């Protein structure tokens, strides 16, 4: 049975002539008895972490690098071949930077998960920079994204181990699409329905997406899937902002994801036992990881310790560039 979480927020917003971001802010105040300044501080701190993750990812100076890592964010940032314009290109760069930072044990915010941590912040940072959004506009955009996440948590799951990557990158794309609409349309008369439409369109486009991490590492296909999910979020937000709606309300789309996830084979739900993980090349990477894990066991060290040793050896004791 569907729990109409987002629809309830929409009803409240329309009754009170507010945006989704506004009513979620009120929800935080009254439901959890949090002071306004405390809510603002937590949101401010979140954006500080977002920005730091982008900066660290683009600099690429890590103590060690995990399997299947490349400086893809910098490569995309500096490419001379540009078919993406403006903030969409920037958001894709940011998404890669954040997920590269996550892969190499840097700090990120699970948004809603570590494996999908680049999508929401990348979209909100890139668009807010292009449009010169105020801090409070950014904070309300993140709160609108949180309303979408709450519906997903109630009606399905945000875990790849439960419902596949539709629950991770799919959820994040829906959250980001909602956040983008909140950021660009602060008009209470149209904001609530457009936020819902954007989220629904994004999640519908992600239904059935499997979680098949090669070698069980949050790298392939996870990192680049964050970048392509940014595209889903942008397109869904643009459709919604143009007045295009979803015939299925968002909360029901989330319920559909739950049903699809329940029918999904466990080999396609974060076990690294199906999909890309079981291709010939995928199994080769799994063997590389197994060798590193075995070395860690023999030396009585952690997996990360072994990666540090390898990095120092390959770089003559210095950090990787």
- Tell me, rounded to whole angstroms, the distance of Cα 147 from its chain centroid: 15
Q: Phi first, then psi: what are they for 90, rounded to 5°?
A: -60, -45
Is residue 171 left, alpha or beta, with left meaning phi > 0 and alpha meaning psi from -120 to 50? alpha
The domain 5-273 is classified under which CATH number: 3.30.70, 3.30.43, 1.10.3470, 1.10.4100? 1.10.4100
Per-residue model confidence (pLDDT) at position 318: 46
Per-residue model confidence (pLDDT) at position 128: 98
How far, in Å, CA of 186 to CA of 235, rounded? 19
Which residue positions in the chain have pLDDT lower than 50? 317-321
Per-residue model confidence (pLDDT) at position 92: 98
Could you state, in order of their start, the residue ranges of all structural domains in the chain? 5-273
pTM score = 0.96
């Amino acid at each position: 049975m569907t729990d109409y979480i987002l629809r309830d927020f929409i009803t409240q917003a329309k009754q009170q002539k507010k945006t989704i971001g506004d009513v979620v802010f009120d929800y935080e105040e009254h439901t959890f008895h949090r002071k306004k300044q405390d809510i603002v501080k937590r949101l401010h701190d979140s954006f500080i972490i977002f920005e730091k993750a982008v900066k660290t990812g683009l600099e690429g100076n890590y103590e060690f690098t995990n399997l299947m890592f490349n400086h893809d964010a910098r490569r995309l940032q500096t490419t001379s071949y540009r078919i993406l314009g403006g903030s969409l290109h920037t958001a894709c760069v940011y998404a890669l930077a954040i997920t590269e930072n996550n892969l190499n044990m840097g700090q990120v915010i699970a948004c809603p998960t570590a494996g999908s941590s680049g999508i929401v912040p990348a979209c909100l940072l890139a668009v807010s920079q292009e449009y010169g959004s105020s801090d409070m506009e950014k904070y309300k955009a993140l709160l609108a994204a949180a309303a979408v996440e709450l519906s997903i948590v109630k009606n399905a799951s945000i875990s790849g181990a439960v419902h596949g990557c539709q629950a991770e990158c799919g959820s994040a794309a829906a959250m980001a699409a909602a956040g983008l609409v909140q950021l660009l349309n602060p008009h209470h008369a149209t904001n609530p329905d457009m936020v819902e439409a954007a989220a629904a369109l994004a999640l519908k486009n992600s239904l059935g997406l499997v979680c098949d991490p090669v070698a069980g590492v949050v790298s392939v296909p996870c990192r680049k899937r964050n970048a392509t999910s940014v595209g889903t979020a942008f397109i869904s937000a643009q459709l919604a902002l143009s007045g295009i709606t979803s015939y299925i309300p968002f909360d029901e789309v989330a319920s559909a994801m739950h049903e699809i996830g329940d029918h999904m084979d466990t080999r396609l739900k974060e076990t690294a036992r199906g999909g890309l993980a079981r291709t010939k090349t995928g199994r080769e990477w799994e063997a590389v990881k197994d060798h590193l894990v075995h070395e860690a066991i023999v030396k009585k060290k952690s997996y990360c310790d072994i990666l540090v040793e390898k990095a120092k050896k390959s770089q003559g004791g210095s950090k990787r560039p």
